Every structure is written in C-alpha cells, then in structure tokens.
C-alpha cells in the first residue's frame, strides 16, 4: 500500500513511528534516504516509506541497525557478489570472516619469502633487481669473493648452494677445498657448521708466501 503513496510528508514520520526528530534522522542516514523537497515541504516517496516501515518493524522486533539489510544499500553489493560467485555457491555473512582467517597464513608465507630474498641478497651481494636472472658460475665466484673479503660465515647449505656440493673436511682436518676456494670450519651457526671462505692458493703462490715474496 505504501507503494501507492507518491509523497509522504517528512514531518509526519515522527508521529507515524512515535519517535523523536534525532531518531528519525538517524534512521534516514542509516538506510541512506534523502528526503525530497518541494518548496518548503520535505517528503519521502512511497518506496522510501516502505523501506522506513521495514526498518521500524525490524527495530520494534528487537533488531539493531547493524543487522538490518537495507534494500536501498545492499542491491549493488549483492549484485557484485553474485557476479564473482558461481551459480551453485552459497553466500553468508561469515564468508568475509573466513577469508580474513585464511589470508593471515598466506601473508605470513609471503613475508617469510621476502625475508629470505633479502637475506640472500645481503649475504651474497646479489642486488634484488637481478635476483630473477639465472645465476652463472661467475656470479657464484663473485659471491664467494664478497663473503671472503667481508669475513662472513656461511652455513653448510649456503656453501652447497654456491659450489654445488656439500663441504666435508677430511679426517683430522678442519677445511675443505674446491677449485679456487677453501672453506674452513669456524664454529657453529645454530646446530650446523659455520664455514669461513678463503681463496685457495696455487702451488706457485704458496711457495712465494713461504719465501716471503708477494703473490
């Protein structure tokens, strides 16, 4: 019957619902209804009146503003949800909360991955913009050179990633040599062995050092 009403005076809404002026404007604001004006008179349409009646009955039945679904404000959002969901999917108000719960572990994984990328870049001297490019043998030698010059200690896994094999000192020894580099045991990193990197000396340079000559 409200739909047959073209204009309902705004001043009559207070008596219709037996509420004060402040309460009325709070209801209008909540369901996003703006009164129309004609001269000095303000009024709502029949459709707006029907929405106000729905809200009034909801509040009188013990409901609150928060759990009231306004037809004037939910239409567009419901349409957007239906476009993203499959025809057979069921939607409920807990869906958002579920997504929030699932998103937190994913964010933690992403943050851990970013931390590892920064750790790799800082440890081996690789700039992040080049991190996605293939690592060449020259790159690995450069990284080992930086580690040796800076005196960084590397884990067994980090050394293996750089030289391709797991470093293992011989019996009774504390170092492992491969190619141009020597890896010397230097305590622990966590529960694993820490390795200090040095450039391996050729027999010629080793003899020069013994004789006190420059390399």
Model confidence at 100: pLDDT above 60: no
Mean pLDDT of the chain: 75
The structure's pTM equals 0.36
Whether residue 103 has pLDDT greater than 60? no
pLDDT at residue 104, as a whole number: 53
At 35, the pLDDT band (50, 70, 90 cuts) reads: confident
Residue 209 pLDDT class (50, 70, 90 cuts): low
CA distance 138 to 146: 12
Instruction: Note the pLDDT tens digit of each residue in 110-168.
Output: 666 665 555 555 555 544 445 556 778 888 889 999 999 999 999 999 999 899 999 98
Average pLDDT on 37-41 reads 86
pLDDT digits (tens, 9 = 90+) for 71-81: 754 444 444 44
Whether 55 has a pLDDT exceeding 50, the answer reads yes
Which pLDDT does position 18 carry in this prediction?
A: 92
Tell me phi and psi for residue 44, to 5 degrees. Answer: -115, 155
Least confident interval from 62-66, 90-94, 100-104, 184-188: 90-94
Residues in the chain: 215
Residue with tokens 């200690």: 153
Question: What whole-number distance in Å separates Cα of residue 37 and Cα of residue 198?
Answer: 86
> Looking at 91-105, 112-126, 164-178, which range is the least confident one?
91-105
d(CA 7, CA 43): 6
Least confident of 1-15, 21-35, 63-77, 153-167: 63-77
Q: Which phi and psi angles does 101 have, rounded to 5°?
A: -65, -35
pLDDT for 149 equals 92
Q: Any idea what the Cα angle at residue 190 is, between residues 124 and 149, rounded to 5°? A: 30
Bridge partners of 37, per DSSP, are 42
| Burial grade of 58 (CB within 10 A; 0-12, 13-18, 19 or more) | middle
Whether the predicted pLDDT of 9 surpasses 60: yes
């Amino acid at each position: 019957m409200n739909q047959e009403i073209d204009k309902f005076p705004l001043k009559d809404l207070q008596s219709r619902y037996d509420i004060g002026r402040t309460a009325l404007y709070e209801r209008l604001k909540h369901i996003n209804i703006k009164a129309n004006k004609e001269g000095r008179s303000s009024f709502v349409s029949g459709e707006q009146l029907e929405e106000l009646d729905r809200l009034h009955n909801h509040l009188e039945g013990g409901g609150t503003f928060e759990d009231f679904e306004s037809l004037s404000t939910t239409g567009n959002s419901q349409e957007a949800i239906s476009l993203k969901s499959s025809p057979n999917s069921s939607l409920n108000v807990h869906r958002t909360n579920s997504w929030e719960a699932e998103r937190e572990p994913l964010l933690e994984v992403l943050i851990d991955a970013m931390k590892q990328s920064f750790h790799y870049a800082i440890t081996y001297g690789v700039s992040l913009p080049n991190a996605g490019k293939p690592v060449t043998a020259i790159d690995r030698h450069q990284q080992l050179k930086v580690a040796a010059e800076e005196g960084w200690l590397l884990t067994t896994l980090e050394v293996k990633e750089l030289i391709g094999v797991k470093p293992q000192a011989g019996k009774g020894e504390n170092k492992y040599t491969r190619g141009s580099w020597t890896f010397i045991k230097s305590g622990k990193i966590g529960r694993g062995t820490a390795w200090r990197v040095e450039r391996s000396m050729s027999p010629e340079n080793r003899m020069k050092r013994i004789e006190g000559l420059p390399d």
